[in-house]
Amino acid sequence: MPQLQDKVAFVTGAASGIGKEIATLYAQEGAKIVIADLNQAAAEATARELSPDGSRAIGVAVDVTDEGQVNAAVERTVAVFGGVDILVSNAGIQIVHPVEEFAFADWKKLLAIHLDGAFLTTKACLKHMYAQGRGGSIIYMGSVHSKEASVLKAPYVTAKHGLIGLAKTVAKEGGTKGVRANVICPGFVRTPLVEKQIPEQAKTLGISEEDVVKKVMLKETVDGEFTTTEDVARVALLFAAFPSNALTGQSLIVSHGWNMQ
Ligand code: NAD
C-alpha cells in the first residue's frame, strides 16, 4: 500500500539534489507532486520524468523569496490538484566566507532563501491545510548546521538554526488542526550545492580538495561516508506519512553520526 496515496506535496528546490529525490520517492508512494523551483526548465523536466502526461506532477517556476510568486504557485497547486497536504521547504543555497569578509548582500540573500522562503511557503500552504480540515505535514530542510556551527558559514548556520524555531512554532499553532512541522538535519550530501563548496573551501582554507572532503566534511562521521539523497528522502517520507501529532516539533539528524545531539 503506497504511504502517500493521492496526497498533494509541494516541494521547493525539487529540480535538483535532495528535493528531487524526495519528490521522486513521494511520487513512487502515490503522491501528486509540485516541483517548485527557481529553475523553470529543470522543474518542468523533473515533473515530466515523474509524470509524462502531467496528471500527477507539475513543474512551477517560483522564487521562494517572492511572496507573490509563492502565493501564485500554491494557488496553482490547489487549482490543479485540489489541495495541499505536504510542504517540503527545501530550496537552499550556500555561500562561504569568513564573517569579517561576508558581504551584507550575500548574508541577506542566503537568509531570504532559507528563512523567508520557509515562512512564505508555510504561510501560503497552512491557510489551505487549515481550511481543508484533514491536517498536513510541513517539513523544513535543516542541516547538521541546525545544531552546530562550522567556520565560513555564518548565515547558513544562522538560518538552519532558525528553521528549528519556526518548526516548533508551527507545530504548536498547527497542533489542534493536525498540522505537524518537523526539520530534517542532513550531514554532507554530494549534490551540486556541495560540489561547488569543495574547491571554494579548499581555496579559503588553503588545503587540497581531497582534504576538504576527508578532514573537514566527513571528519566527524562514524565511517567517513557521505549521507545520500536517498537517506534524506526516507526521513522525509517518515515525516510526511506519520499518522499522528506524536511526531511534531522535532528535528532529526541524518549524518552518519557526525552529530549525535
Ligand atoms: P541543490 O543545489 O542540488 O538544489 C537546490 C535547489 O534549490 C536547486 O534546484 C535550485 O534551483 C533551488 N533554488 C535555489 N534558490 C531558490 C529560490 N530562491 N527559489 C526556489 N528554488 C531555489 O542543493 P541540495 O544539496 O539538494 O540542497 C537542498 C537543501 O538541502 C538546501 O536547503 C540545503 O541547505 C539542504 N542541505 C544540503 C546538504 C548537502 O550536503 N547537500 C546538507 C544539509 C542540508
Query: Quick one: which atom of ligand 1 is closest to the CA of 14?
Result: 9
Q: What is the mean pLDDT of each run of 10 residues along the chain (261 residues)?
A: 97 98 98 98 98 98 99 98 98 96 98 99 98 98 97 97 98 98 98 94 94 96 98 98 98 98 86
What pLDDT is stored for residue 261 in this prediction? 86
Distance 173 CA to ligand 1 centre (A): 27
CB 151: neighbour CB atoms within 10 A? 13
Of 10, 11, 12, 16, the residue with max ligand 1 atoms within 8 A of its CB, to mutate for a pocket test, comes to 16
- Could you say which of 1.20.120.530, 3.40.47.10, 3.40.50.720, 3.40.50.12780 is the CATH number of the domain covering 8-188+228-254? 3.40.50.720
The number of beta carbons lying within 10 Å of the beta carbon of residue 157 is 19
HSE-up of 139 (CA within 13 Å, CB side)? 32
Question: What pLDDT score does 27 carry?
Answer: 98
Residues 6+ apart with CB under 8 A from 9: 23, 26, 31, 32, 33, 34, 84, 85, 86, 87, 88, 240
Do 34 and 58 contact (CB within 8 A), yes or no? yes
Per-domain residue ranges for the chain? 8-188+228-254
Does the Cβ of 218 fall within 6 Å of ligand 1? Answer: no
Q: Is 113 in the pocket of ligand 1 (CB under 6 A)?
A: yes
Q: Known catalytic residues?
A: 156
Give the pLDDT score at 36. Answer: 98
The owner of cell 576538504 is: 212
